[in-house]
Amino acid sequence: MVQGRGREILGKLVHWSIVVAFSVLLAFPFYWMLITSFKRTGDLYNLKNNPFVFNEKPTLEHLQLLFHDTLYLRWISNTAFVGALVVLITLLLSVPAAYGLARLTGRWGQRLGIGIFLTYLVPPTLLFLPLARLVAILGLQDSLWSLVLVYPSFTIPFSTWLLMGFFKSIPPELEDAAMVDGLTRFGAFLKLVIPISISGILTVTIFTFTLVTQEFVYALTFISSESRQMVGVGVPIFLVRGDVYYWGSLMAACLITSLPIALLYNLFLDRFIAGFTVGAVK
Amino acid sequence: MSNRKLGAVMFLPAILYVLAVVGVPFVLAFIYSVGDVKIASVGYHFVGLENFRSVLQSPAFRRSLYDSVVFTVGTQIIVLVGSTILALALKEPFRGRGLVRFLILLPWVAPVSLGAIGWKWILDSLYSVINWALIAVHLVRPFEGPMWLGEPSLAMMSVIGVESWRLLPFSTVILLAGLTAIPRDIPEAAAVDGAGFWRTMFQITIPMMLPIVNVAVLFGIIFTFTDMTVVYILTRGGPYDTTQVLPSLAFFTGVLGGDLAEGAAISIFLVPLLVAVAYLMLRVAHRSEVA
Amino acid sequence: MAIVETRNLTKVFKEGQPGAVNNVSLQTREGEFLVFLGPSGSGKTTLLRMIAGLEQPTAGEILIGGAVVNHLPPRERRIAMVFQSYALYPHLTVFKNIAFPLKAQKVKKELHQQKVDWAASLLGIGKLLNRKPRELSGGERQRVALARAIVREPTVFLLDEPLSNLDAKLRAAAREELEEFQKRIGTTTIYVTHDQVEAMAMGDRVVVLHQGIVRQIGTPKEVYDDPADTFVATFLGSPPMNLLEAKDVIVGFRPERFLPSELLTPGGEQAAKNFQPQSVLVADVKDPLKRIPLRFRVEIVEYLGAERILYGYLAGTRFEKKLVYSRIPSSVLVNYEANSVHDFAVPESELRFFDPATEKRIAPKAFQWQ
């Protein structure tokens, strides 16, 4: 009896240690970004100082530099611009596609769905060279429009697959009832299915947007001028003068960009998992 | 309009778009690899397997192939073990699980490049906080802190570490989904049948997770093998090309070097792996369909 | 085989909420087939799971074979359990499923084959040993679950609604097989179900549970013919016992005892003619011939093949608005139509009396029909 209780406590201890260890390991860099953003330069680059504490008072100088002396805000607006357009294009194309594949096409539609998903696995690092050339031929080099054009190549497959899962979880009887009541199939889609799936569509919107902000290879390849760059490339590449990294501002930029995305992501994660498992388990 | 036709009309735009923006460049990659295209060039001449020959003979390429394999395998092992442990630890609800979930997802959610640059600061040759800590507890003598990104084997360990750090959350989420799909009855039946904690874990729980582990590993392999961001930001492939992986080599050759044809030839070597993985994923999907 | 006993067993899931199981004390008999019967939420499954060791009681003790087992994990209680979903290990063959408990209890490998064969032959599944669960039908899966349960020769069997996943036709056959199986091996068995037909057919005794409390323990005959309270009275029997509520007493009678007067005794019509409708009843249960005549206005007739159910009202009584049921075997060739009124009667000895405040069974009491 005592042995049972002892083992229970040990088990809880081990469980907690694992959870804490992983949490620290995974979240530490962001904590580090936080501290670095607010440390005075003198404190930051002084090897004798304990880096875990503020040896001098915290400062906003890095943030000021970031917002006033760099193109950080420009990059953010570029990213927002591209993100919004890509989300629009993606929704316009993948919502009907997902519905068509989920409901209307039987077995080969299923296969096409998997096929679409597989294109998500074709890596940018294979396509970026030919695409660079195509972009040059179209005259879109160094323009955000090249990204608007190319990004749906991975956001559409991903969104279609996710939405297929969501649509499948809606009982088909609902649409049947609507059609008996007088709507056409397409009408039922517009007036019934889409409103019901708003949360799924919202989830797809958020995830598409985060995919855009996380992208690196295409932005690095197609865009060369600093003022037209996206935040994911601008921050690690351009917050450097000569050979010197402006670590304070760099870390601030990383943190400020990552946190809102993380918050949004977490809000929608459960719905994502629901759609994901429906799609997988079919 | 019949269902079939309506369905086709509804998904056709998406398929056409994807074919245009994925299919066409995919084919072009092959065409360029057997041609002599440069980024600025206008014409095209067929040169057969010339690019492949020169690529295969170059030591840089062979080195990068080796690096890619080490990078991918190393990352996958760490991610597999780590995410299995973490998923098992997160399966049951506990106080604070929501916060833990937020923290754990950060590496995956933050843009890859930003997480990587964060690590670059942590691993900086002079100011690394890890080195400071090692020196402070006297594991290392002052000014002899390891050059995480400057020494060949340490550099490879570092990029593997950062890539694992980035992929762990994703893998954990997938495995958790698989874990929660196991009906509650089954571990209870095992308990009644006489299985203790370890036996249930290794003979029941983990074998039942195998299909989803497959999916997670296959995804992981693709993401790792075709990723250039972590390497680019942390080491630019250095020191002395010891962390150069295939995708980053293709980038340096094709974009910075301007030799599109050779770059394309290099990135073509990603294709066999993609095909193999795609085939395996389809088989896993098919088998779970049958069940 | 062993006796299972619970003493004042209680389980509260959420503080402040009523318990799922409240102060349950019972004791099985050696080798008996004991049924826990109740609607969903009655606590029957929770009770079973506590006996198995899958839930920890909030208070009270569980004894198996005379020893307190509260702190023992399931695997040390020498029990076996069959789950509602059977919980077969999907990645193992039938053979490995059945052998799993042997492996877990570290039985020597050489003995596995022999024991699995024995269990499999008891259940007639010898041919299925190499298949995987997903290739089996519902009935086959149940048999594999039973084989896995019995292979360790446990002292107690626990079954959690194992028939509810089978379709109706299969269920009857499976039920028979289960009964036969239990008689053959003779292990003490506790069986949880919400289906009162199953409970009555299979149980040596039935424990009727409602809201975590034991309402009655008894043989099927006892709980059916002598219900301890109105819950037991209405839960068993389909359609349920007719209950008529007066201010200080509730009177009940079973639909199958509420029959056309001609059926009840030869010469019954004569007795009916002498009866004064306004007289107050002084019940005399020793006289089997004494019956209460009632005018029955039939509203709905349900034809069920072997019997008919009549829904209607007691015309001329003060219970005219209360729907009552009658169950007539189809051997009665009289035609009953909607909106017709007939002379029916209930034998006095079949009346059951309950206290309206406590809902418990009481001795026969004066009762006004008009």
CA distance to A48, B121, B126, B138, per residue, from B141 (Å):
14, 21, 14, 6
- Measured between beta carbons, the chain B residues lying within 8 angstroms of C79 are 192
Largest Cα–Cα distance of chain C, in whole Å? 81
* Residues A188, B281: Cα–Cα separation, whole Å: 34
Running DSSP on this structure, what letter comes out for residue C281? B
Tell me, what's the pLDDT at B281? 79
pTM score of the predicted model: 0.83
- CA–chain centroid gap for B260, Å, is 24
How far is residue B264's CA from residue B247's CA, in Å, rounded to a whole number? 10
Nearest to C37 by CA among C227, C157, C215, C181: C215
Three-class SS of residue B125?
Answer: coil
pLDDT at C282 over 50: no
Within-domain flag for B82 = yes
pLDDT band at B291 (very low <50, low <70, confident <90, very high): very low
- Residue A229 banded pLDDT, cuts 50, 70, 90: very high
Instruction: Please answer yes or no on whether C75 and B193 come within 8 Å at the CB atom.
Output: yes
Q: Which of C49, C50, C76, C100 to mutate to test the interface with B (most CBs of B within 10 A)?
A: C100
In chain A, what residues touch C71 (CB-CB under 8 Å)?
A: 1, 4
Tokens found for residue C271: 């007795």
A 14-73 near B (Cβ less than 8 A):
15, 18-19, 22-23, 25-27, 29-30, 32-33, 36, 44-45, 47, 50-52
| The residue count for chain A | 282
| Residues 62-81 in B contacting A (C-alpha not used; CB under 8 Å) | none
Q: What is the mean pLDDT of chain C?
A: 88
C35 forms bridges with which residues in the sheet?
A: C191, C206
Q: CB under 8 Å to C260, separation ≥6 — which residues?
A: C328, C332, C334, C342, C343, C344, C345
State residue C195's pLDDT score.
93
Predicted-complex ipTM score: 0.87
- Of residues B1 and B239, the one with the higher pLDDT is B239
Closest to B104 (Cβ–Cβ): which among A26, A119, A250? Answer: A26
Q: What percent of chain A has pLDDT over 70?
A: 95
Q: Is the pLDDT confidence value at C80 over 90?
A: yes
Tens-place pLDDT, residues B168-177: 999 999 999 8
Nearest C-alpha neighbor of C352 from the set C215, C233, C237, C214: C233
Structure tokens at A235: 């921050």
In this predicted model, what pLDDT tens digit does every residue of A143-166 receive, in sequence order? Answer: 999 999 999 999 999 899 889 888
CB distance C59 to C51 below 8 Å: no
Q: What is the pLDDT of residue B139?
A: 83
pLDDT tens for B130-153 read: 888 888 888 877 777 788 888 888
Residue B208 is part of which domain span?
63-245+271-290
Contact assignment for C73 to A4 by CB distance below 8 Å? yes
Q: What is the 3-state secondary structure (H, E, C) of C282-327?
A: CCCCCCCCCEEEEEEEEEEEEECCCEEEEEEEEECCCCCCCCEEEE
* Amino acid found at B136: A
Between C47 and C18, name the one with better pLDDT.
C47
Distance CA B1, CA B3 (A): 6
Domain ranges of chain C: 4-233, 240-362
Number of domains into which chain B is organized: 1
pLDDT at C70: 93
Q: How far is A17 from chain C (nearest CA, A)?
A: 25
At A281, is the pLDDT very low, low, confident or very high (cuts 50, 70, 90)? very low
Show which subunits contact A, needing at least 3 CB pairs below 8 angstroms: B, C
Distant-in-sequence, close-in-space partners of C220: CB < 8 Å, separation ≥ 6? C199, C200, C201, C203, C206
C90 in reach of chain A (CB within 8 A) = no
Q: How far is CA C275 from the centre of its chain?
A: 39
The C324-329 sheet, strands edge to edge:
C259-260, C340-347, C291-303, C307-315, C324-329
pLDDT tier at C269 (50, 70, 90 boundaries)?
very low
CATH number for position B164: 1.10.3720.10
Which pLDDT does position B255 carry in this prediction? 85
CATH superfamily entry for domain C4-233: P-loop containing nucleotide triphosphate hydrolases (3.40.50.300)
The residue extents of the domains of chain A are 2-59, 63-281
Q: What is the pLDDT of residues B30-41, one digit of tens each?
A: 888 888 777 666
| Amino acid code (one letter) for A183 | L
pLDDT at residue A282 tops 80? no
Q: Indicate if the alpha-carbon torsion angle A225, A227, A229, A235 is positive or negative.
A: positive
C-alpha dihedral (A144, A149, A151, A153), degrees to nearest 10: -170
The single residue listed with the structure tokens 């209930």 is C346
Confidence of residue C289 (pLDDT cuts 50, 70, 90): low
Tell if the CB–CB gap between A126 and B278 is shorter than 8 Å.
no
Confidence class for position C168, pLDDT limits 50, 70, 90: confident
CA distance A32 to A51: 10
Does the CB of A281 have a partner CB in chain C at under 8 Å?
A: no
Give the CA distances from residue C31 to residues B163, B192, C82, C155, C184, in Å, rounded to whole numbers and listed in that order: 62, 20, 17, 9, 10
Structural domain includes residue B259 = no
Q: Which pLDDT belongs to residue B256?
A: 85
User: What tens digit of pLDDT does each residue of A28-41 get?
Assistant: 999 999 988 888 88
- With a cut of 50, say whether residue C86 has pLDDT above it: yes
Q: Do B190 and C104 touch (CB under 8 A)?
A: yes
At C29, the amino acid letter reads R
Residue type, C341: V
Nearest to C25 by CA among C53, C41, C39, C4: C4
Q: With 70 as the cut, is the pLDDT of residue C339 above it?
A: yes
CB contact under 8 A, C83 and B189: yes
pLDDT digits (tens, 9 = 90+) for A104-133: 767 777 788 778 878 888 899 999 989 988
Phi-psi region of C82 (alpha: psi -120 to 50; beta: other; left: phi over 0): beta
Statement: C240-362 belongs to CATH 3.40.109.10: no
pLDDT at B284 over 90: no
Does the pLDDT at position A138 exceed 50?
yes
- Provide mean pLDDT across the span B105-133: 88
pLDDT score of B160 more than 50 = yes
Q: Do A258 and B115 touch (CB under 8 A)?
A: yes
* CB-neighbour burial class of residue A14 (10 A; exposed 0-12, middle 13-18, buried 19+): exposed
Neighbouring chains of B at 3+ CB pairs under 8 Å are: A, C
CATH 1.10.3720.10 fits A63-281, yes or no: yes
Q: How far is CA B143 from the centre of its chain?
A: 34
Q: pLDDT exceeding 90 applies to what percent of chain C?
A: 60
Count of CB contacts below 8 A, A vs C?
3
